[in-house]
Amino acid sequence: MNIPVAPAALARDAVIYNHEAKSLLRFIACGSVDHGKSSLLGRLLFDAGLVLDDQIDALRKDTGQLTDPVETLDFSLLFDGLAAEREQKITIDLAYRFFATESRKFIVADAPGHEQYTRNMATGASTADLALILVNAQAGLTQQTRRHALIAATLGVRHLVVAVNKMDLVDYSQAAFAAIEADFRKFAGRLGDVSITFIPVSARKGDNVVTRSPHMGWYRGPTLLDKLETVDVTPRAANQAFRMAVQWVSRPTPDFRGYCGMIAGGEVRPGMEILVQPSGQRTRIASIVTANGELARAGVGQSVTLTLTDDVDVSRGDLIAEASAPAHVSDRLNARIFWMGQGTLAPGGRYHIKLGTASAAASIAGPMQLIDLAEDAQVKSVDRLMSNEFGTCRLELDRPLAADGYNQNRETGSFILIDAETHDTVAMGLIEVPVNASAATRNANAVTGAPTSRDLYKLFGINANHARSLAKTLSWRVMGSVVTFLVALLVTGNTAIASSIVVAEIVIKIAFYYFHERLWLLAPWGRS
Amino acid sequence: MNDVSLTAASSTRSYLDQLEAESIHIMRETVAECDKVVMLYSIGKDSSVLLHLAMKAFYPGKPPFPLLHVDTTWKFREMIEFRDRRAKELGVDLMVHINQDGVARGIGPISHGSELHTDVMKTQGLRQALDLHGFDAAIGGARRDEDKSRAKERIFSFRNSHHRWDPKRQRPEPWRLFNAHKRKGESIRVFPLSNWTELDVWLYIHRENIPVVPLYFAKPRPVVKRGETLVMVDDDRLPLEPGEVPRIKNVRFRTLGCYPLTGAIESTATSVEDIIHETLDSRFSERRDRVIDQDGSSSMERKKQEGYF
């Protein structure tokens, strides 16, 4: 790609080094139909000198604009990849585009505007650091604009850039721009912790896209490209506790056992104390192995192989976490869900869940709520979610998994649901604070009202109170049997009959006491 | 290279570090979630990067899958030499498949045209090899920037039992969560280099010092001009037209395929550094030099639906 630099002033090797050391920004471009998103992206690439001559020739063929001046071409067609999309002149599927300037590489998720393609937008936003939201200066904010902003903020996109497009059609009016900005800020309180930048642009004429507009002297902020090149791209999870989901266990020789994965949070160093979750085994990092040699430390986004000081049982799906700040381990998750399936999502539904590298079976439990993106995220109680709707529910898993809240960590706080029959990916999940497992057991009645099949399972499940209950059962039984024998002997005067009564009673009551004790554990009444 | 890894722990890692880590993550997911994995090795620069990443992903072990080259019998001789040498040097398992049915029918790019040759020797050959060995996942070096239809393809891209791609039935891939659950008869193409561009590939080859086929570097080679395309006379199978005489020109290749279908460019770039500068200054994308991609704007999309990689 051709980058507008002055290489003559730089040594050839310095040019190459600078390119290798560039940073990376992933952003998502979204906007209502006809607000000019594809045109703006096309203009961005063209003005940055990144559209190649054979692409322009192909564009001329596609548009029939064989002799028009190059700057008047319909650049939106650079982006519509599938034949059906070019025919209908709309974007159906999420497309990824790439471009680079001398300081940064950009991965652009180009998301369709239609409501029925919300899942594509949510997918693109899930890895984005920045969302570029297009607003038509003539039409002003639409319901879709608000939807897009809400989805982006919900998925943890930190920077919003609102590009007010078609400024040429409103005579580059500062008042029109200010009105849209004020309108957007009125509802921006719902978006949480995001930075918002407003830029007046014209995709058709190129104003404030790469070059500063001569028509809008009143605007003092950055051009679109300036903003994209300078926005902070430090991953948020860099400052969180260390996390790595184990992808693959490497055993090339009998004396090497390494755990491969990509670091999802914080930083790791040899000697660091870690927990293997969900099992809770505690050990230390022995070394960080890579093909470039062992590392003294490694951080978020690096793919590494860790070795541990003790021979603990670790397999794919386990989470290696900093011992001083481990993840939550639970077989219940409260989550916000983007439902993308064809049918509905309702309590009782059963799916495969993939959380990090772990898989489990999940069933949907109530209560279920709809977060209405068309009405600025109003929450309503519902009994099901329809396709492309967003809501909250609880998931019950067939085994405990380690997870964080999505607000702490995008990687360890997210999951997908997979339909057991079609194998399609049917939902994206964002974990709220995970429900702590032992607390869930203690408070099961208080939370769900009545014991469920899950609670009955818990009665016999493995936890710390299990052995204690058994010991109490036995000691009480010994004392009780002695008393029963004496009473029976006094009444009947017959040792043989008294003994028979005791034997029968031991067998029956041991079983009953155990049930009785465990049932009491479900009742929070009378406990502090 | 070591300097890079030592500074890489800071949170502002370079974009090449991030692309590398993402590709390694994808390969590890593939072997963890699929039963029988193969890596498609086409000998070009993207395959060289892919192989290098596989060596890194499973270090200190070897990649736990074989390489498969679908040989159309019309590759440049230097490609075949390079292929065999690299497999030996790295100690990896290399399988070569040739569509014998196509050979028996005498299919070639000159006698039958680029489209039929590519379909029989490449597309059908690939399908045969995957079916023959029962591979359920094939890792390939395709990049999204190569073609508009590729820009919409997922990293885990499913093919039905006839190896067809259905662009309307693609699974969303949020975060880094790939769903590798297959329906009956389906297989997966996995593209770890999806987010790389041609420039990224060359910068990475430079940084990591990865060997590539010498055809990428300019040197005097015998070529004939056919239309706008410079075709190298690699062996005596290329019929010369009356009066046509191969001329020695200083040329190199931006992309490698079957030699009669791959155009050379005149160039003086003899090192990876030269190639990077040439790529930075180029006004043309690399696919322009491939004859098979020029059958209309949707040709790649159509070929992919038919089972082309």
Structure tokens belonging to residue A34: 């006809």
Residue pair A259/A277 in contact (Cβ under 8 Å)? The answer is no
DSSP string, A316-382: TT-EEEETTSPPEEEEEEEEEEEE-SSS-B-TT-EEEEEETTEEEEEEEEEEEEEEEGGGTTEEEEE
pLDDT at A336 (0 to 100)? 94
When the pLDDT of each residue in chain B is averaged and rounded to a whole number, the result is 87
In Å, how far are A132, B19, B113 from A218, measured between CA atoms? Answer: 22, 40, 61
pLDDT at B307 (0 to 100)? 60
Q: Are A19 and B203 inside 8 Å of each other by CB?
A: yes
pLDDT at B308 (0 to 100)? 61
> Nearest CB to B170: which of A7, A93, A267?
A93
Structure tokens belonging to residue A503: 């034997």
- Percent above pLDDT 70 for chain B: 88
Residue A80 with chain B: CB contacts under 8 Å: 148
Q: One-letter amino acid identity for B83?
A: R
Our separate counts of H helices and E strands in chain A read 13, 22
Structure tokens belonging to residue A30: 């979204």
Structure tokens belonging to residue B298: 């949707």
Task: Report the residue of chain B nearest A106, measured CA to CA.
Answer: B15
Query: Residue B227: what are its φ and ψ, rounded to 5°?
Result: 65, -125
Q: Are A303 and B144 inside 8 Å of each other by CB?
A: no
pLDDT at A404 (0 to 100)? 95
Rounded average pLDDT over B225-237: 88
Residue A362 with chain B: CB contacts under 8 Å: none
Q: Give the pLDDT band (50/70/90) at residue B299.
A: low
Residue B104 to chain A, least CA–CA distance (Å): 36
From the list A402, A391, A380, the residue with the least C-alpha distance to A349 is: A391
From the list A42, A12, A15, the residue with the least C-alpha distance to A29 is: A42
CA gap A420, A441 in Å, rounded: 28
From the list B76, B72, B95, the residue with the least C-alpha distance to B214 is: B76
Say how many CA atoms lie within 13 Å of B236 toward its Cβ.
0
Residue B62 with chain A: CB contacts under 8 Å: 252
Rounded average pLDDT over B270-290: 79
Say how many CA atoms lie within 13 Å of A448 toward its Cβ.
21
Q: Are B152 and A94 inside 8 Å of each other by CB?
A: yes
Task: Report the residue of chain B nearest A120, measured CA to CA.
Answer: B172
List, as ranges, residues 7-26 from A with C-beta within 8 Å of B: 7, 12-13, 15-16, 19-24
From the list B225, B306, B296, the residue with the least C-alpha distance to B266 is: B225
Rounded average pLDDT over B178-185: 91
> Nearest CB to A416: which of B4, B174, B288?
B174
List, as ranges, residues 445-484 from A with C-beta within 8 Å of B: none
Task: Report the residue of chain B nearest A298, measured CA to CA.
Answer: B9
Q: Are B172 and A123 inside 8 Å of each other by CB?
A: yes
Residues 6+ apart with CB under 8 A from A71: A46, A206
Residue keyed to tokens 């209560």? A367
Residue B6 with chain A: CB contacts under 8 Å: 295-296
Tens digits of per-residue pLDDT, B139-174? Answer: 999 998 887 777 788 999 999 888 888 877 889 999
- Answer whether B184 touches A (CB < 8 Å): no
Q: Are B176 and A262 inside 8 Å of each other by CB?
A: yes
Q: One-letter amino acid identity for B227?
A: G
Structure tokens belonging to residue A62: 């596609």
Query: ipTM of the predicted structure?
Result: 0.88
Residue B61 to chain A, least CA–CA distance (Å): 5
- Answer whether A302 touches B (CB < 8 Å): yes
Is residue A159 helix, strand or coil?
A: strand
pLDDT at B110 (0 to 100)? 86
Count the Cβ atoms, other than its own, within 10 Å of residue B45: 25
Residue keyed to tokens 């390489």? B67
Count the Cβ atoms, other than its own, within 10 Å of residue A214: 8
DSSP string, B242-285: TT---EEEEEE-SS-SBGGGB-BEE----SHHHHHHHHHH-SS-
pLDDT at B298 (0 to 100)? 55
Q: Are B280 and A23 inside 8 Å of each other by CB?
A: no
Task: Report the residue of chain B nearest A410, measured CA to CA.
Answer: B175
Is residue A162 helix, strand or coil?
A: strand
pLDDT at B279 (0 to 100)? 86
From the list A86, A477, A42, A432, the residue with the least C-alpha distance to A224 is: A42
Task: Report the residue of chain A nearest B287, measured CA to CA.
Answer: A54
Tens digits of per-residue pLDDT, A342-371? Answer: 889 999 999 999 999 999 999 999 789 998
- Answer whether B180 touches A (CB < 8 Å): no
CA gap B132, A38 in Å, rounded: 44
- Answer whether B3 touches A (CB < 8 Å): no
Structure tokens belonging to residue A182: 């004020």
pLDDT at A286 (0 to 100)? 97
Query: Residue B63: what are its φ and ψ, rounded to 5°?
Result: -55, 130
Query: Residue A88: what are its φ and ψ, rounded to 5°?
Result: -90, -5
Alpha carbon of residue A233 to chain centroid: 18
Angle at alpha carbon of residue A47, lines to A41 and A52, rounded to 5°: 85
Pairing of strands A358-372, A390-403: antiparallel
Q: Are B12 and A301 inside 8 Å of each other by CB?
A: no
CA gap B306, B297 in Å, rounded: 16
- Answer whether A352 touches B (CB < 8 Å): yes
Task: Report the residue of chain B nearest A80, measured CA to CA.
Answer: B148
Beta bridge partners of B187: B159
> Nearest CB to A16: which of B167, B172, B273?
B273
Residue keyed to tokens 């000691």? A475
- Regions of chain A with pLDDT less than 70: 1-11, 33-34, 79-92, 113, 115-116, 434-470, 473, 524-528
> Nearest CB to A52: which of B22, B170, B283?
B283
pLDDT at B7 (0 to 100)? 38
- Answer whether B58 touches A (CB < 8 Å): yes
Is residue A168 helix, strand or coil?
A: helix
pLDDT at B170 (0 to 100)? 86
Beta bridge partners of A24: A105
Residues 6+ apart with CB under 8 A from B89: none
Residue A410 with chain B: CB contacts under 8 Å: 175
> Nearest CB to A303: which of B2, B25, B282?
B25
**pLDDT above 70 for B12:** no
Say how many CA atoms lie within 13 Å of A207 toward its Cβ.
22
Is residue A233 helix, strand or coil?
A: coil
Residue keyed to tokens 């009125």? A186
- Answer whether B28 touches A (CB < 8 Å): yes
Q: Count of A–B CB contacts within 8 Å?
A: 222
pLDDT at B301 (0 to 100)? 62
Burial of A432 (0-12, 13-18, 19+ CB in 10 A): middle
